[in-house]
């Protein structure tokens, strides 16, 4: 590593939403003459600046931001962690070559991990990704072909069965209720089913457990901050942020996005009223398509892909479908208050989930699994464990795909209590 790169370490900032990641990134970039690289998946897309909580010009304080609002929402199905790692690593190399400190910040932790660790993605993943990118592409972002979403099963509940038939090995690694990942796996299969027989291997490798042990930028060339805030402090802060988003014009922004989506996706017939709002028929058709997963950047779990994955749309869906007069009525006020309440709850849940994703899965996959061979009696015993999924009939059919989580569940107090209750009922 040359002296120039040592003067420009790669700084990464991660943590749950609302913990002050963006502010810290901007402050560090100003002090170190650096530039910020976004690592939040939904903030990659143009539009919905309030809903996705992008930094404002005032907040940025003239600090240059990269990979922020640079993608069209229709690329929601096509731009993935491989594309992000390529683009982000190019930016990091370019900044360090100019003596500029890159500060990578965001809440999409697996994007960050893919950049920071050389072995986070399997080698087969990288080879398959390179095959998908056209030769001679420019250094900028690429326009990707949209996969055949319309060929997915109509009912998202059928995704697991469809994937099990197409690729049982990949289905075994996914939870039957994880609609988003099941949909992604099916889309990969459908987009490759006309190619050679390597589809199964490519798909299963993408669904495999990631692992990380080799840093891309070894110390002292990297510095990672993980921000944490006590729930008692974070909860009121997140609630206040939701209120401020509404006050800044969240509803207007969502309405404007619906108008743009309707004009683009429903070209046949009038879709906009004289006052510039989407008419009732077009709005109903738009939401129906969205909920079926047939819109670009929209998944089957109400707006779960691309820019519409951001918290806001699904919570305000009922209010957005009301006409202007109904919104101003007492009923409309009740619907709005309920939407705000849902958004607060969703934001708090998202923050808790980010903390869990950062700690628990990583510990299970990268620490417990590494030490398991040393504490298990023999490898023969481990081979006797049946493959996933594991279904707990005693606990209302809960499904597990991770063997360690399955063992933890069997040893949990709640499971044992449930089993004891059932035994008493059968006596």
CATH number of the domain that residue 104 is part of:
3.40.50.300
Q: Is residue 385 part of a domain?
A: no
pLDDT of residue 358: 56
**Is there a single domain that holds both residue 85 and residue 223?**
yes
**Is there a single domain that holds both residue 182 and residue 249?**
no
Q: Is residue 190 part of a domain?
A: yes
Q: What is the pTM of this model?
A: 0.63
Indicate if the pLDDT at residue 238 is higher than 70.
Answer: yes
For residue 241, which of 33, 35, 427, 59 has the smallest C-alpha distance?
A: 59
pLDDT tens for 98-110 read 999 999 999 888 8
% of the chain beyond a pLDDT of 70? 70
* Residue 216: domain span: 10-120+212-227
**Is there a single domain that holds both residue 167 and residue 255?**
no
**Is there a single domain that holds both residue 346 and residue 416?**
no
pLDDT of residue 188: 72
Q: Is residue 384 part of a domain?
A: no
pLDDT tens for 139-193 read 444 444 444 455 677 777 778 888 888 888 778 878 887 777 787 777 777 666 5
Indicate if the pLDDT at residue 401 is higher than 70.
Answer: yes
Angle between helices 199-206 and 123-132 (to 10 degrees): 120
φ, ψ for residue 400 (rounded to 5)?
-130, 145
**Is there a single domain that holds both residue 71 and residue 151?**
no
pLDDT tens for 338-353 read 999 999 998 888 787 7
- H or E element in which residue 262 lies: helix 250-265
- H or E element in which residue 66 lies: strand 65-66
% of the chain beyond a pLDDT of 90? 27
Indicate if the pLDDT at residue 366 is higher than 80.
Answer: no
**Is there a single domain that holds both residue 216 and residue 281?**
no
Decide if 319 contacts 332 (C-beta within 8 A). Answer: yes
Domain end marker among 358, 386, 408: 358
Indicate if the pLDDT at residue 247 is higher than 90.
Answer: yes
Q: Is residue 418 part of a domain?
A: yes
For residue 80, which of 217, 181, 11, 151 has the smallest C-alpha distance?
A: 181
Nearest-angstrom CA–CA distance, 334 and 337: 5
**Is there a single domain that holds both residue 333 and residue 261?**
yes
**Is there a single domain that holds both residue 292 and residue 349?**
yes
Count of domains observed in the chain? 4
Decide if 106 contacts 43 (C-beta within 8 A). Answer: yes
Q: Is residue 343 part of a domain?
A: yes
């Amino acid at each position: 590593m040359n002296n120039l790169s040592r003067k420009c370490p790669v700084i990464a900032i991660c943590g749950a939403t609302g913990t002050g990641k963006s502010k810290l990134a901007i402050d560090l970039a100003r002090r170190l003459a650096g530039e910020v690289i976004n690592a939040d998946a939904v903030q990659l897309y143009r539009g919905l600046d309030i809903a996705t909580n992008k930094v404002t010009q005032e907040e940025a304080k003239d600090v240059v931001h990269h990979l922020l609002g640079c993608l069209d929402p229709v690329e929601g199905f096509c731009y993935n962690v491989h594309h992000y790692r390529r683009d982000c690593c190019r930016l990091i190399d370019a900044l360090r070559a100019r003596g500029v400190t890159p500060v990578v910040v965001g809440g999409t932790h697996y994007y960050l991990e893919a950049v920071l660790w050389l072995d986070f993605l399997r080698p087969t993943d990288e080879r398959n990704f390179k095959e998908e990118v056209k030769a001679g592409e420019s250094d900028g972002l690429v326009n990707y072909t949209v996969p055949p979403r319309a060929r997915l099963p109509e009912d998202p509940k059928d995704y697991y069965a469809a994937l099990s038939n197409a690729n049982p090995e990949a289905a075994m690694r996914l939870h039957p209720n994880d609609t988003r990942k099941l949909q992604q796996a099916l889309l990969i299969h459908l987009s490759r089913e006309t190619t050679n027989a390597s589809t199964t291997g490519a798909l299963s490798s993408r669904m495999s457990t990631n692992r990380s042990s080799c840093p891309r930028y070894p110390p002292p060339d990297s510095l990672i901050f993980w921000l944490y805030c006590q729930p008692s402090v974070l909860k009121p802060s997140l609630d206040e942020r939701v209120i401020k988003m509404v006050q800044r014009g969240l509803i207007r922004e969502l309405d404007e996005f619906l108008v743009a989506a309707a004009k683009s996706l429903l070209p046949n017939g009038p879709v906009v009223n004289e006052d510039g709002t989407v008419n009732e028929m077009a709005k109903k058709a738009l939401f129906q398509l969205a909920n079926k997963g047939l819109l670009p950047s929209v998944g089957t779990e109400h707006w779960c892909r691309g820019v519409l994955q951001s918290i806001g749309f699904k919570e305000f869906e009922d209010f957005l479908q009301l006409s202007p007069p109904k919104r101003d009525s007492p009923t409309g006020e009740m619907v709005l208050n309920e939407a705000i309440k849902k958004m607060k709850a969703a934001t708090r849940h998202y923050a808790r989930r980010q903390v869990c994703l950062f700690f628990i899965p990583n510990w299970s996959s990268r620490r417990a699994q590494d030490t398991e061979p040393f504490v298990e009696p023999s490898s023969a015993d481990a081979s006797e464990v049946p493959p996933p999924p594991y279904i707990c009939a005693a606990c209302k059919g809960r499904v597990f795909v991770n063997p360690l989580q399955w063992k933890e569940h069997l040893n949990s107090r709640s499971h044992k209590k449930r089993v004891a209750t059932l035994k008493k009922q059968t006596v």
